[in-house]
Amino acid sequence: MADLTPGTREALLRVGTSTLTGVLYRRGLRSVFMHDVSPIRPETPRMAGLAFTMRFIPAREDKDAPGAPGRGQVQRTAMEECPPGHVLVIDARGDARAASAGDVYAGRLKARGCAGIVTDGGFRDTEGVFKTGLPAYHRRASSPPSPVAHHPADLNLPIGCGGVAVYPGDVVVGDCDGVVVIPPNIVDAVAEEALAGTLYDEFAEQEVARGRSLVGLFPVAGEEAKRDFEAWKRARSGGR
Amino acid sequence: MADLTPGTREALLRVGTSTLTGVLYRRGLRSVFMHDVSPIRPETPRMAGLAFTMRFIPAREDKDAPGAPGRGQVQRTAMEECPPGHVLVIDARGDARAASAGDVYAGRLKARGCAGIVTDGGFRDTEGVFKTGLPAYHRRASSPPSPVAHHPADLNLPIGCGGVAVYPGDVVVGDCDGVVVIPPNIVDAVAEEALAGTLYDEFAEQEVARGRSLVGLFPVAGEEAKRDFEAWKRARSGGR
Amino acid sequence: MADLTPGTREALLRVGTSTLTGVLYRRGLRSVFMHDVSPIRPETPRMAGLAFTMRFIPAREDKDAPGAPGRGQVQRTAMEECPPGHVLVIDARGDARAASAGDVYAGRLKARGCAGIVTDGGFRDTEGVFKTGLPAYHRRASSPPSPVAHHPADLNLPIGCGGVAVYPGDVVVGDCDGVVVIPPNIVDAVAEEALAGTLYDEFAEQEVARGRSLVGLFPVAGEEAKRDFEAWKRARSGGR
Amino acid sequence: MADLTPGTREALLRVGTSTLTGVLYRRGLRSVFMHDVSPIRPETPRMAGLAFTMRFIPAREDKDAPGAPGRGQVQRTAMEECPPGHVLVIDARGDARAASAGDVYAGRLKARGCAGIVTDGGFRDTEGVFKTGLPAYHRRASSPPSPVAHHPADLNLPIGCGGVAVYPGDVVVGDCDGVVVIPPNIVDAVAEEALAGTLYDEFAEQEVARGRSLVGLFPVAGEEAKRDFEAWKRARSGGR
Amino acid sequence: MADLTPGTREALLRVGTSTLTGVLYRRGLRSVFMHDVSPIRPETPRMAGLAFTMRFIPAREDKDAPGAPGRGQVQRTAMEECPPGHVLVIDARGDARAASAGDVYAGRLKARGCAGIVTDGGFRDTEGVFKTGLPAYHRRASSPPSPVAHHPADLNLPIGCGGVAVYPGDVVVGDCDGVVVIPPNIVDAVAEEALAGTLYDEFAEQEVARGRSLVGLFPVAGEEAKRDFEAWKRARSGGR
Amino acid sequence: MADLTPGTREALLRVGTSTLTGVLYRRGLRSVFMHDVSPIRPETPRMAGLAFTMRFIPAREDKDAPGAPGRGQVQRTAMEECPPGHVLVIDARGDARAASAGDVYAGRLKARGCAGIVTDGGFRDTEGVFKTGLPAYHRRASSPPSPVAHHPADLNLPIGCGGVAVYPGDVVVGDCDGVVVIPPNIVDAVAEEALAGTLYDEFAEQEVARGRSLVGLFPVAGEEAKRDFEAWKRARSGGR
C-alpha cells in the first residue's frame, strides 16, 4: 500500500478511536488498541499515518556504555528515514526507565513531514516535544538518556507496542484517549463505516441530551430512530 | 435511606475527600477511598450521591461474541434505571482493556438527573463524556467497546470498586483527588463534622501562610489556637 | 556542603532534568531519576534544593491507632526543621494508599522558605497543596490520612524515593518530567555542563526546525555544526 | 445440566489442560484459562467437576469487624451446599492479602464428596488443606483470616476467577499447570476430541524421541504420519 | 524484652502462622503477615525468634561501584552481631533484582546460633543457603551480588518487610505459608491462645473428616461441640 | 565463535549463577541475570550453551486466527534449526497468557542434541516438558496454545528475555536460581575465574560452618585466610 488516500486520512482524523475500535470489533479485531499509551499532553493534536517501526531491546553494559561506537546510528536513521506522512512507532517493551526519544528527534520528524511518534516507553523533554507540534504518544515522561535502559536494535520489522502487534505499513490513529492500529487492507472501508457511525452518534447524543430514552436508539437503532436520523440528516444539510 | 438531605449534599460537595477520609478514619473506617480512580479531567465537577451499582465479569467468547443476544441489556437498563441524584458505580475488576461506558450512556444519566458515574476500569470517548457535564471518575481512558473484556452481569448488588466495598445506597463523594465511600447511616454526622473541620483547616492554612508554627496549631489545636479560631470565625462573620 | 551557590541554583532551575540526566550519565551515574514521581499539576514550578529526608515504614495497628501518642511528632518536626532552600524528600515505599502530607504541611514549608516537597507516595488535598505555591512531586493523589498506611520513622537518614537513593544534602531538581538527584560534590560542574548543553540543544532545535539533517548535528556535533554553533552564539549575543 | 457423565469425567481427568485449551481454541474459545492460579502443591491430584461459585467483595470496617454478626454464614453455607462432584470456585479479586479458605473448610468439602476448590486469592494452612486430599488451586499461600481483606457476598452467581468468567455449572478442570473452564453444553464433545488429541500427542512424542522431524508430524499431521499413527494404534492395542 | 521463653518459643514453632494471624486479628492486629515472602524450599524448617533488622536503600553508582570502600561492612556486621536466637530481617524494598544475602552469610548466622533470615528481596545460591539448615524466607531467588541493586544503610532500626512494619525485638514466626510479626509485649498470651486454638482445630479437622457438619462446630464452637471437645481432650490424654 | 570449549562448558555447568553474576559484576556487567525466569521444576538439570533466539510479537486476529496459513512455520523451524549444544531463547515479552512451547517441541530439541530452552513467558504441559530431560526455564506454566497471545516473528535476531539483552551466540547458563547471559568473547576467562571463586567459596563455607568469623575471610580474603586456603587446597588434593 502506497499511502493513505486524502479522504481516508481526513476521515481518520475526524472520527475517534472509540468509533474505530467499535468498527474493528464488529470485524473480529479486538487486539488493536494500545494499553497505557496516551498523548503527552491533553491538547496533543490527533494523528493518522502509516507505521514505520523501531525496536529497542534491553541495554547491556558491554554494548551500551557511554561512547560505544555506532550506538545512536539506528535511532538517527529512524528520524531521517521515516517517510513523510508516516508515524514512527517504537517498541520499548513498556519500559519507561529511560527515554525513547526527545525534542530534537521529534523536531526532525516534524520538519520532514512525518505524522507522529508513538512509544510504549517514555519521551524526555516533553515540553520541547510538545512545542514541535508533532503528535506524540507515550506511557509517561522519562528523562534519562535511552542507553540507560534501551539498545536500538533495528528498523521496520513487525513489533509489539502497548501490547498490540504493529506491522510496518499498518495504519496508526491517535486521539486524546490513545492509539489504535488498523490493518491497511481494510482501512478505507473502516474509515467510511466509522464516519457514518460518528454521524449517528452525534444524532444520538443530541437526542439523549433532549431527554430521549436509549430504548430503540442506542446502541442499536430501531425503526423510529432510523427515520428520525434520516430526517435529522436532511435538516442538517439544509433540507436538501 | 431515601436520599441525601439538601444540607448534607451541599456539605459533601463543599468539603474535600481528604477531610472526609480524615473524619471516617477517626470513626475506625480506613478502607473507604478508591485506589487508582481519578476524575477524567482536572476540571471535572465535584460529585455526591447514593450508589447504584453495576457489575462486570470477564467476557468469554461463547457469551460475548459480536451480536450475542441481550448482551447490552444490563448496561442499558443501568442507564435508564439509576435513580436521579444517584451515582452509577461500576465494578470493572480494575480492568481498563475495554470501556466501561461512553458518552451516550453518560449523556443519558445526565439527562435523567443522575449525579455521576464511577468505574475502576475506563471510559471511552472521554471528550464526549466530559462534554455531557456528568462527573465521571475512572482509572484511565479505554476506547475498545466493553465486550472486548467485560460481560455486564447484574445491577445493584454489593460490589468492589477501586479496592473498596460499595453497597447500593452507600454515599459516594468525588473531588479532584478521587472518590470516597460513606456508610449512609452516618453520613449526616460525617458531613457536619467535615464541614467544621474544613473551617478550621481554612483558618490553619491562613495562619500558616502568615508564618505561624504548626506547634499547637495543626493537626491538633492547642488552647491558644482554639481562642484564635473563635476570634477568626467572629471576624469572618462580620463581628456578629 | 553549606548550600547551593546562587549561580548553580539558577542554572539548575533553567536546564531540564533531561539535560541533567544526560550529563550525569556521561559521568557514570544512571540510577538518579525517580520513577513514577511527577509534579502534582502540569503548571507546578521547577524546583532545586538540597535534600532533607523523612522515612515512613508501614503502619501497624498497635503503633498507629487513632490517637496513638506522639505519632504525628516526626512529621511536624520535618515541616518545622527542613531548612530554608531545602527540599523535603519522603520515602513512602511507593505506597499511595494514604497521604504523605497535605496542604497545611506544604504551606508551612513554603512559609519557612523551603524549596519543595517530594514523595513516592501521594499528597492529599492537591488543590490546596498547589495553591501554596510550593513545588510538589508525587506518584498520585491520595486522600486518606497518613496513619492508614504509614508510620513516620525518622528524619535525615539516607532513604530510597522513586527507586533512587537520596542522601541528606543531595541536590534534588524537578521539572514537568520528574525529579533527578545529583551528588552535591559534583553539582557545580554538572550545572555548568548542563547549561552549555542546553544552549547547544536550543541551537540544534532551531536548525532542525529549519530542516537541517541530524547527521553531523545531533546528538554529536560535527565540525561544521560546531562552527555554526559559534556563529549562532555570536549572533545571539548581538555580534559581540 | 445434571452432572458430568462418568466417561467425560474420566476423559477430563486423563487429558491435560494444554490439550483442552487447544481444543477450545479451535472452537473460538480463548478466554478460558485462569491466570496466576496453580495447585497448592506439585503433587496435587487432578480435578474435574461442575462449578459452584462464591463471591468475595472487599472487607470494610463497618461490615467486617471481628464479631460482626452473620459474617461467616455465606462461607459456611458454601461448604455445606456445594454439591458432591462439584468444584467450589471463589472470586477473590486476585487478592491474596487474606485467606479465601483453610483446612477445615476444605476438609468439609472433601468429606461431602466435592471435587475441588479454586480461588484467585490464597489458602491458609496449605499443609492442612493438602492433607485433606481435596484438589486445591490458588494464587499463593495467605495466612490472615478472610475478614482482613474479604467480605463473602453471595453464592452461585456468575463470577470472575483468575481473569476468566465462571458461570455456575461450567466445567472446571485442573492439572499441574493450572485450571481451565469449559462451557457445559460442549464438554462431551470437547472431552472426546481431547482424548483423541492426547493419543496423537503420545504418538508424536515417541516419534520425536526416536529422532523423527516435526515436518509432516506436528503440530499438523501429514499423510505419512496419519498412516503411521494408525499402525501405532493397532500395534498398541495388540494388533487387533 | 530479653528473649523468648522456652515455652513460648516451643508453642510458636508448633502452631501455624494461620492460627497466629487469627489470634492477632481478634486483638485488632491485621497488618502483621508479610506479603510475597515464602520459604526458599517447601521443606524449610519452621522459624521463631526476635527480630534484628538490616535496611537496604537503592544502590547508586557513586556509592556502590565495585570496590567502593567499606561497602560490605554493614552486611558483615549484621551477620556477626545478630544475636543467637534472633532472626535477621532485611528491608529490601521488595526488590529481587539483586541478592539480599547468600550461603556464606547464612552459614555464619547458623554457626552463631541465629534462628533465621528473612528478606522481601531474594537470596542467591539458594541451594547453599538451604544446606546450611538456617530457616530462610524471601520473595524469589536472585543471583546478582547485592550492590547491583542495594546499598546496606543501617542496622536495627524499624523497617518495612513484605509490607509489614518490623521493629527490632519484634517476634518473627515462619512456616510453609509465610512469615508473621508479633509485638513482643503480647507474645506469651498470643502463643498460649494459639496453642489452645490449634488443639481445637485438630479436633474440628477430625470431626469434619468423619462427616460432621460445620454448623455449631466451626469457626465458632456451639455447646455440643464444646462438650465433645472436652471429651476428646480427655480421651486423648488417656482419660486422665 | 564456533562453540563452547569442553572445559568451559564443564566449568559453567559446575559453578552457580551466583558466582557467575559476581564475576561479571566485577567486570562491569550488571544487566545479565533474567528476572522472573526459573526452572520448570526444582530438579531441572543445569544448562549451558550458546543462544539461538526466537521472537514473539503480540497476536492479532487478522494474522493469528486458527488455521492462518504458515503461522506455525517459524516455531517449527526454530525446533529444527537450533544447533546442537545451543539453547533456544524466546522473547515472549514476559507474557505468560499463552504458551511459548510445549512437550513435543522440547522433545525435538532434546532429540537434536540442543542444550536447553528458555522463555520469559510460559511452557504448556510442563510435566511432558520435564520428562524430555531438556533443561527448561520460564516464568510460569501456561496451557493455552501460543496463538492466543503470541505471533512468532523471526529467528536469531537480538532479543530481550527476562529484561536482559540476548544476542545470538551469547552464552546462556541456568541453575536452580535462574538464568545468566555471558558475552561469548569473555566466557573462557569468566568460567575460569568462576571456577576459582567456587573453590574459595567452598573453603569459606566449611570454615564458617566450623565457627570462623567472616572478618578477614569473606567476602574479601585476608592474608591469613589466603594461607589457610592454600593449605586447604593442598590437603584436599592429597598433599601433592
How would you classify residue D94: left for phi > 0, otherwise alpha for psi between -120 and 50, otherwise beta? left
CA–CA dist D174, D217 (Å, integer): 28
φ, ψ at A236 (rounded to 5°): -65, -35
Decide: residue C14, CB within 10 A, 0-12 exposed, 13-18 middle, 19+ buried: middle
Residue D71: pLDDT band with limits 50, 70, 90? confident
DSSP state of C33: B
Residues of A with Cβ-Cβ distance to C208 under 8 angstroms: 104, 107-108, 111
Q: Which residues contact D197 (CB under 8 A, 6 or more apart)?
A: D15, D19, D22, D23
**Secondary structure tally for chain E: helices H, strands E:** 8, 12
> Could you count the other beta carbons within 10 Å of the beta carbon of residue A11?
24
Pick the closest to residue D2 from D165, D117, D158, D169 (CA basis).
D169
Q: In this complex, do B215 and C97 lie within 8 Å of one another by their Cβ atoms?
A: no
Nearest residue in chain A measured CA to CA from B148: A30
Residues A61, F30: C-beta atoms closer than 8 Å: yes
For residue E104, the chain F residues in CB contact (below 8 A) are: 201, 204-205, 208, 214, 218-219
Residues whose CB is less than 8 angstroms from the CB of residue C78 and which lie 6 or more positions away in sequence, other chains included: C52, C54, C88, C152, C155
CA distance A1 to E219: 68
**Beta strand C47-58 with C86-91: parallel, antiparallel or unpaired?**
parallel
Q: What is the pLDDT of residues B7-57, one digit of tens each?
A: 999 999 999 999 999 999 999 999 999 999 999 999 999 999 999 999 999
Identify the CA nearest to A119 among candidates A185, A200, A37. Answer: A37
- DSSP state, residue E147: G
Please tell me the predicted confidence (pLDDT) of residue B43: 93
Contact criterion met (CB < 8 Å) for D165 and B183: no
Cβ of residue D79 closer than 8 Å to a chain E Cβ: yes
pLDDT class of D65 with cuts at 50, 70, 90 = confident
Tell me the nearest-neighbour CA distance from E99 into chain F, angstroms: 9
Residue A130: partners with Cβ closer than 8 Å, 6 or more residues away: A40, A41, A44, A136
pTM above threshold 0.95: yes
Please state, rounded to an integer, the average pLDDT across all residues of chain A.
95
Radius of gyration from C-alpha coordinates of chain B: 20
Contact list in C for residue A105 (CB cut-off 8 A) is 214
**Residues of chain E neighbouring C182 (CB-CB closer than 8 A):** none
Name the band, by pLDDT with cuts 50, 70 and 90, for residue F238. confident
In chain B, residues with a C-beta closer than 8 Å to the C-beta of A19 are 125
Q: What are phi and psi of D223, to 5 degrees?
A: -60, -45
Q: In E, which residues are within 8 Å of F213 by CB distance? A: 80, 108
Q: Does F237 touch chain E (CB under 8 A)?
A: no
- Within 8 A by CB and 6+ apart from F157, the residues are A153, A154, A157, F53, F55, F168
Residue B239: pLDDT band (50, 70, 90) is low
Pairwise CA distance, residues D57 & D65, whole Å: 15
pLDDT confidence of D6, banded at 50, 70, 90?
very high
Yes or no, beta carbons of E25 and D107 under 8 Å apart: no
What's residue E187's pLDDT? 98
Q: Looking at the DSSP assignment, which residues form a beta bridge with residue F159?
A: F166
C126:B177 CB<8 A: yes
| Nearest chain E Cα distance for residue F66, angstroms | 37
Q: How many CB atoms lie within 10 A of CB E218?
A: 26
The residue of F37, F54, F60 whose CB has the most chain A CBs within 10 angstroms, and thus the best one to mutate to test that interface, is: F60
Asked if residue D175 lies in contact with residue D14, where contact means CB atoms within 8 angstroms, the answer is no
Residue A181 CA to residue A29 CA, distance in Å, equals 10
Residues of E in contact with C183 (CB under 8 A): 62
State the residue for C-alpha cell 555570536. Answer: C234
Residue D59: what residue type? Answer: A
Mean pLDDT value of segment D133-155: 97
Per-residue pLDDT of chain C (240 residues), as tens digits, is 568 999 999 999 999 999 999 999 999 999 999 999 999 999 999 999 999 999 999 999 999 987 777 677 899 999 999 999 999 999 999 999 999 999 999 999 999 999 999 999 999 999 999 999 999 999 999 999 999 999 999 999 999 999 999 999 999 999 999 999 999 999 999 999 999 999 999 999 999 999 999 999 999 899 999 999 999 999 988 755
Could you give the 3-state DSSP secondary structure of residue D217? coil
Q: Do B17 and C127 touch (CB under 8 A)?
A: no
Q: Are E201 and D105 in contact (CB under 8 A)?
A: no
Q: Which residues contact D226 (CB under 8 A, 6 or more apart)?
A: none
CB contact under 8 A, A164 and F31: no
Instruction: Give the model's pLDDT for residue F240.
Output: 55
Amino acid at E135: P
pLDDT, one tens digit per residue, over F79-112 is: 999 999 999 999 999 999 999 999 999 999 999 9
Helix axes B187-209, B223-236, angle to 10 degrees: 100
Please report all neighbours of A, defined by 3+ CB atom pairs within 8 A.
Answer: B, C, F
> Which residue among E31, E60, E157 places its CB closest to the CB of C59?
E31
Residue E237: exposed, middle, or buried by beta-carbon count in 10 A (0-12, 13-18, 19+)?
Answer: exposed
Q: Are B and F neighbours with ≥3 CB pairs closer than 8 A? A: no
Residue D20 amino acid letter: L
* Alpha-carbon gap, residue F186 to F183, rounded angstroms: 6
Q: Do residues A41 and A133 make contact, with C-beta atoms less than 8 angstroms apart?
A: no
- Residue B13 vs residues B168, B173, D26: alpha-carbon distances, Å: 20, 8, 54
Closest CA to B201 of C129, C96, C81, C122: C129
Angle between helices D103-111 and E187-209 (to 10 degrees): 0
Instruction: Tell me if D104 and E204 make a contact (CB, 8 A cut-off).
Output: yes
Task: Give chain A as a 3 state SS string.
Answer: CCCCCHHHHHHHHHCCHHHHHHHHHHCCCCCCECCCCEECCCCCCCEEEEEEEEEEEECCHHHHCCCCCCCCHHHHHHHHHCCCCEEEEEECCCCCCCEEECHHHHHHHHHCCCCEEEECCEECCHHHHHHHCCCEEECCCCCCCHHHCEEEEEECCCEEECCEEECCCCEEEEECCEEEEECHHHHHHHHHHHHHHHHHHHHHHHHHHCCCCCCCCCCCCCHHHHHHHHHHHHHHCCCC
| Amino acid symbol at B8 | T
Cell of A192: 467510511
CB within 8 Å: A57 and F29: no
Contact B183 D30 (CB under 8 A): no
* pLDDT confidence band for F148 (50 / 70 / 90): very high
Distance CA C112, CA E75 (A): 39
Helical (H) or strand (E) element with B89: strand B86-91
| Least CB–CB distance from A124: residue in C35, C177, C204 | C177
C-alpha cell at D125: 494452612
Q: Which residues pair with C178 in a beta bridge?
A: C175
Cell triple for residue E114? 541465629
Nearest to F61 by CA among E198, A173, D132, A21: A21
Residues 147-206 of D with CB under 8 A from E: 147-148
Interface list for E 85-114 with C (CB within 8 A): 93
Give E134-169 pLDDT, tens digit per residue.
999 999 999 999 999 999 999 999 999 999 999 999
Alpha helices in C15-158, H assignment, sequence order: 17-26, 61-64, 73-81, 103-111, 126-132
d(CA A96, CA A78): 20
Residues of C in contact with B209 (CB under 8 A): 107, 110-111, 132
- C31 CB neighbour count, 10 Å cutoff: 20
Per residue in A104-144, pLDDT tens? 999 999 999 999 999 999 999 999 999 999 999 999 999 99
Q: Are E107 and E132 in contact (CB under 8 A)?
A: yes
CA distances from D103 to C92, D124, D225, E217 (A): 36, 7, 49, 14
Residues of chain E with pLDDT under 50: none
Alpha-carbon distance values, A164 to A35, E183, F57 (Å): 8, 49, 8
pLDDT in tens, C141-163: 999 999 999 999 999 999 999 99
CA distance A19 to A12: 10
Question: Is the peptide bond between E219 and the residue preceding it cis, with omega within 30 degrees of 0?
Answer: yes
Closest chain C C-alpha to B220 CA, distance in angstroms: 10
Instruction: Please report the number of interchain residue pairs, chain D to chain E, with beta-carbon separation below 8 angstroms.
Output: 86
Contacts of F140 in chain D (CB under 8 A): 36, 38
Q: Which chain A residues have a beta carbon less than 8 Å from that of B125?
A: 16, 18-19, 177
Q: Are F80 and D213 in contact (CB < 8 Å)?
A: yes
Q: Tell me which chain B residues have a C-beta less than 8 angstroms from the C-beta of C76.
A: 214-215, 218-219
CB-based contact F30 E144, cutoff 8 Å = yes
How far from the centroid of its chain's Cα atoms is residue D216's Cα? Answer: 33
Share of chain F above pLDDT 90, in %: 92
